[in-house]
Structure 1
Amino acid sequence: MADIFDEHLVPSTDAVESAVGDETVILHLKSGTYFGLDAVGTRIWAMVKDGVATADIAKCLTEEFDVTQAIAEADARRFIGELKANDILING
């Protein structure tokens, strides 16, 4: 199985977002499913939208939040994988 950090992912055109304070709500138009992102999820979402390589996201999280590299990598892999599995993020 390929490493998700090696993939170039972009937001799906079927995903629309709305900011709610420091959090984000994403609606997947085709499935009608809402996804609520906390502050860290919102930051990951912003980095993906800004074109930050998925491999660099965990490094950015360790610099911006009080978290170890191992935890940042595990959490980012899980979160990005979940967004990809639900077609919020697609290969671009």
Structure 2
Amino acid sequence: MPPTLDDTVAQRPQALSAEINGETILMSMDSSLYIGLQATSRDIWHRLATPVTVRDLCNSLSEAYGAPLPQVEADTLAFLSHLEQRGLIHYTG
């Protein structure tokens, strides 16, 4: 199920990450797939180290990057859905 603004989300403990040459590499132990993150996506990943509502995450990203909130929400929900499909995040209540 795709995330909503009211969901609380966090990194899954089983997700592995490493910093290599300015890029964050994520690997899911469940799927053995990995993805590389740069810039904003890396920032989002680090913000998911502790549980946060998607709404609060989007608000803080909009403020940090000076981007329009509706665009940040759409992009962030799509990215979170991508991470969730790969078993890298989970919803926490």
Q: Which has the higher contact order (CA 8 A, sep 6+)?
A: 2
Runs of 4+ residues over 6 Å off in structure 1: none
Paired position in structure 1 for 2:34: 34
1:21-57 CA-to-partner distances (Å, cap 9, x unmatched) read 5431101112110111111011111111133322111
2:16 is the counterpart of 1:19: no
Percentage identity across paired residues of the two chains: 23
Structure 2 spans left out of the alignment, 5+ residues: none
Contact 2:10 2:50 in 1 (8 A): no
Q: Which residue of 2 aligns with 1:9?
A: 9
Give the TM-score, by structure 1 length. 0.84
Q: CA RMSD in A?
A: 1.9
